Amino acid sequence: MEKTEKLSHAITELDNLMDYYEAVLRKRFPFTPKNRDFSSVARTLAAPAPEPEVEETPQEDFSGLDMKRLQFAVQNCTRCQLCKTRTNTVFGEGCTYKPLVMVIGEGPGEKEDLSGRPFVGPAGEFLDKWLAAIGLSRDTNTYIANIVKCRPPQNRDPMDEEKDACKAFLYQQIALVMPKAILCVGKPASMLMTGKTDATMASLRQKLFLYDYSIPMICTYHPAAVLRNLEWKAPVWEDLKKLRSIIFPPVRG
């Protein structure tokens, strides 16, 4: 039987039942029943079942985890589709406690995916030179991580749902590492960390932000982008000098 046919049978039955009760009641009480209107019931019953609401990626709370447990959680993460194509997760590396700077990049590329280490390709070698120019190194005083821990296929930008699924790991990494300053490289990292999703890199790099109301944070171009656009070397140098003045404030007197 068709759904509408079933519905019309049900309404007829209901109508008959109401006739019966009205007749019973009318014997005892003088009352005038209202016109019956089943249209809203019929519309509700006939309407197709609403689509289930799309569930937001659950934001787990990683705030109780130490570095080892956090890394284990990342290694076993299946919170987004990137887990299906990764070879290795890329958690982060460098000075894990109170570094002068924490660098935040976009996501692993091919070499990072194969090695499980951040910034080890050509962009990484370039980044190491930038850091060395202002007295920083991942071997001593700098920590390096990315906003997503698994490689986006073909090195595309990470999608919103991938960033959303991964950002709780990064926030806990920052809380554990407690850097003196943060350097975001590239637009995806800069936009996520500043919350300014429609700003240009040119405008973001001009500002000084405070992460969590306390950690000075600046943004600059991504080393891979600078390798393709050498005219951005000069603005990057300006940004690095600004970073240097934050972490090594000039001694006055």
For ligand URA, give the closer residue by CB, 107 or 179: 107
Q: What is the CA radius of gyration of the chain?
A: 30
User: At its nearest, how many Å lie between ligand URA and the CB of residue 138?
Assistant: 11
User: At its nearest, how many Å lie between ligand URA and the CB of residue 118?
Assistant: 4
Q: What SS3 class is residue 142?
A: strand
For ligand URA, give the closer residue by CB, 22 or 93: 93
* Residue nearest ligand URA (C-beta atom): 105
Task: Locate 25 and state its tokens.
Answer: 């009641």
For ligand URA, give the closer residue by CB, 99 or 118: 118
The pair phi, psi for residue 25, each rounded to 5°, is -65, -40
Q: For residues 158 and 188, what is the distance between their CA atoms, to the nearest angstrom?
A: 8
Closest CA to 202 of 229, 218, 223, 220: 220
User: At its nearest, how many Å lie between ligand URA and the CB of residue 121?
Assistant: 6
For ligand URA, give the closer residue by CB, 23 or 230: 230
Non-local (6+) Cβ contacts of 153 within 8 A are 85
User: At its nearest, how many Å lie between ligand URA and the CB of residue 124?
Assistant: 6
Q: For residues 245 and 253, what is the distance between their CA atoms, to the nearest angstrom?
A: 16
Binding site for ligand URA (CB under 6 A): 90, 105-109, 112, 118-119, 121, 123-124, 146, 186, 224
User: At its nearest, how many Å lie between ligand URA and the CB of residue 61?
Assistant: 26
Q: For residues 63 and 168, what is the distance between their CA atoms, to the nearest angstrom?
A: 8
User: At its nearest, how many Å lie between ligand URA and the CB of residue 198?
Assistant: 21
- Residues forming a β-bridge with 101: 142, 181
For ligand URA, give the closer residue by CB, 89 or 146: 146
Closest CA to 93 of 127, 142, 130: 142
For ligand URA, give the closer residue by CB, 95 or 224: 224
Q: For residues 8 and 182, what is the distance between their CA atoms, to the nearest angstrom?
A: 67
